[in-house]
Amino acid sequence: MIVRKKALSRRTLLRGAGAAVALPLLNAMVPALTAEETTVAEPSKLRRLSYIYMPMGFNPSEWTPQGSTLEHLPSSLASLSGVKDQLSVITNMELRNAYPGSHATSNSAFLSAARAKRTESSDYYLGTTVDQIAARSIGRNSQLPSLELAMDLLSTVGQCDNGYACVYQNNLSWSSPTTPLPAEAHPRLVFETLFGAGGSVEDRKAALSRRASLLDSVVGEMKRLKNQLGVEDQQRIDGYLENIREVERRIQYAEENIEENPLPDLDRPLGVPASYAEHARIMFDLQALAFQGDITRVTTFQLAREASTRSYPEIGVPDPHHPVTHHGNNPEKLAKVAKINAFHVSLFAGFLEKLRSIPEGSGTLLDHSLLLYGSGMGDPDAHDHSNLPTLVAGGAAGNMQGGRHIRFDQPTPLSNLHLTLLRKAGVPLDQFADSTGEVEELFI
Residue 145 has pLDDT above 50, yes or no: yes
What pLDDT sits at residue 73? 97
What pLDDT sits at residue 393? 97
The dihedral formed by the CA atoms of 355, 52, 193 and 357, expressed in degrees to the nearest 10: 10
Residue 183 has pLDDT above 80, yes or no: yes
Residue 39 has pLDDT above 50, yes or no: no
Q: Catalogue all structural domains in the chain, each as residue range(s) with its CATH number.
A: 33-185+272-442 (3.40.720.10)
Residue 325 has pLDDT above 90, yes or no: yes
What percentage of the chain reaches a pLDDT higher than 70?
81
Better-predicted residue by pLDDT, 234 or 277: 277
Does the pTM surpass 0.75? The reply is yes
Average pLDDT over the chain reads 84
Query: pLDDT tens for residues 350-406?
Result: 999 999 999 988 889 999 999 999 999 999 999 999 999 999 999 877 788 899 999
Nearest to 267 by CA among 152, 153, 169: 153
Give the type of residue at 86: Q
Its sign, for the CA torsion 261, 267, 271, 276, is negative
Instruction: Tell me which long-range contacts 252-258 makes (C-beta under 8 A, separation of at least 24).
Output: 252/208, 254/187, 254/278, 254/282, 255/188, 255/205, 255/208
Residue 86 has pLDDT above 80, yes or no: yes
Give the type of residue at 42: E
Average pLDDT on 54-59 reads 97
Average pLDDT on 260-265 reads 40
Partners of 394 in beta bridges: 370
Query: How does strand 404-413 pair with strand 147-150?
Result: unpaired
- Any idea how long the chain is? 444
Residue 5 has pLDDT above 50, yes or no: no
Query: How does strand 298-302 pair with strand 48-53?
Result: parallel
Query: pLDDT tens for residues 195-216?
Result: 775 555 565 555 555 445 556 6
The neighbour count for residue 178, using CB atoms within 10 Å, is: 14
pLDDT band at 264 (very low <50, low <70, confident <90, very high): very low
Distance CA 41, CA 46 (A): 8
Give the type of residue at 44: S
What pLDDT sits at residue 223? 74
Query: pLDDT tens for residues 426-438?
Result: 999 999 999 999 9
Average pLDDT on 37-47 reads 52
What pLDDT sits at residue 263? 37
What pLDDT sits at residue 210? 47
Better-predicted residue by pLDDT, 131 or 220: 131
Average pLDDT on 257-274 reads 50
Residues 6+ apart with CB under 8 A from 233: 26, 27, 28
CA angle 370, 374, 379 (to 5 degrees): 160
Rounded alpha-carbon distances, angstroms, from residue 423 to 235, 387, 407, 413: 33, 24, 21, 16
Query: How does strand 13-16 pair with strand 19-22?
Result: antiparallel
